Each structure stands twice: as structure tokens, then as C-alpha cells.
Amino acid sequence: MGNIAFYKYQGTGNDFIMIDDRKETFDLDDHGFIAHLCHRKFGIGADGLILIRNYQEADFEMIYYNADGHLTSLCGNGSRCAVMFAHQLGVVKNTCKFMTVEGILEASIEHDQVFLKMPDVKAVEIHENYYFLNTGSPHHICHVNDVKTHDVYADGKKIRNGAPYFEVGTNVNFVQENSEDQIFVRTYERGVEDETLSCGTGVTAAALVQGLRGAKSPISVTTLGGDLQVKFEKISDGGYKNIYLIGPAKKVFSGTIPK
């Protein structure tokens, strides 16, 4: 059967199985096996799995699966880890362009910090008790008084599957505003179906909402897994451009596992 070589990376506690698949030997349709690899009791354990492949129009392609074994929307922390992984493989140097489900993105590395240029955001929906926007993945943003004691799992699961999202679902972010330019974010992630220690697209979404509420770039964001920073420029029609998600991405360990 043979073995698969893997690497484990984490970006502020959001952890991923990384596989160098430039020879294209990994079965992209074996969703059960991918979910098995991500299982924390019976597999390696991770919030998601990322394949690195060659791509003619960019330095590499990143293919991302949620922990449930299915392809999904953009993962910000996963993208930062993919950039660091490609760098440590020698695929890229300190700057790169890579293909994602959202198209080609740009990134750079300064020491252990990855600066990921996120997709532009056209608009933020303002509702009575929450905000909604898409930063490559859909995000529901609501503010709470004490995010550390908030029941993120129960409330996140309810919102994720409820109106108006239903089958499509959404990621759910609970935000505590410590100051105008400093927030604490906890996230319930669809596909993982649980709280993760950090969510890059969620952190970005929460920071952009702070911009809508009057804060100036950059926004410092605390998560359970560590600290990130988000920079952005406002567009006159209510959108955002030149959005950067900035934070560490680190190798944890490597090994092999039977196919």
C-alpha cells in the first residue's frame, strides 16, 4: 500500500496536514480518507488538509479540504501555512503567487510572519444584531460582552445551520471589542463543525467590520491560538481592498502514514 509523507503546520492554533503532491499521486476524490487523516482520534488530527501542486500560471496551487474531507472555500490561516510550507520546500522564496479556490493570491514572508493579501471585499451587510460578509468564506459577525465565557459551540452551531443560511451554512464569529483597533475573536467553523483556535478569514471579516464601525487600519486581533493583524484600505462604495492577514505559520512535526 505504501506510505504518505505529511507535515503538520499551525497558524495561531489553526492546524493543517500539509502534503507535497507535486507528482499528483494523491486521490482528490477520496473524501473518507481525507476525513480519516484529519480525525483527532484515529488519524493525524487537523482542522483541514492542504495539498501543494504545481501550477503553470503561479508558483504553486493550494488545494484545501475541511476536516470533513470535502473541498471548501478559502482558508486564510491555511493559506499562510501553505506559503510557509512551499517556502520550506524550496518552491518559493520570500514572495509568491499561488492558486486558490478564490483565484491567484499573493503573499510574502518576513521572518516567521506571513503577509497574505486577501481577496477584495465588495460590501458588508448590516443587520439588526449582526453583520455578514464574504472574505473568501462566508462569515456571520456578532458582538458580545465577554467572549471568553461565551458558549461559542452552542450558539455557533445554531446560527450556522439556521436562517438565513440553512444548507449552505456559514462560519460564525463572536467578537469582543477591547478598543477600537483591538478585538478578541472566537469562531465556530463550518466543515470542522466546532470552534477552532483561530480562523483567518473570520479574523479578517471581524477586522473589516471594525473598519465599518470607525476603526482605522491596522486592527490587532487576539484569538485563542495567538495574535494576528489585519490591514486594509476602504473603498468609497463601502468595500475594502489591499486587505492583508498577517501572522505566524509554523511547522509542528512531520511523518508518514499508511495509505
218: DSSP letter = P
* Secondary structure (3-state) at 101: coil
Q: Is 199 a catalytic residue?
A: yes
Calculate the dihedral angle through the C-alpha atoms of 38, 44, 48, 52, rounding to the nearest 10 degrees.
Answer: -120
Q: Which of 20, 80, 79, 45 is nearest to 247 (CA)?
A: 80
Q: Which of 72, 51, 73, 71 is nearest to 62 (CA)?
A: 51
The catalytic residue among 81, 96, 142, 199 is 199
Q: Which of 145, 7, 165, 18 is nearest to 78 (CA)?
A: 18
DSSP string, 121-139: B---EE-SS-EEEESSSEE
User: What is the grid cell recorded at 150?
Assistant: 461565551
Q: Is 75 a catalytic residue?
A: yes
The catalytic residue among 38, 75, 96, 142 is 75
- In angstroms, the CA 99 to CA 215 distance is 31
DSSP alpha helix (H) spans, 53-132: 76-89
- In angstroms, the CA 87 to CA 76 distance is 17
Residues with catalytic annotation?
Answer: 75, 199
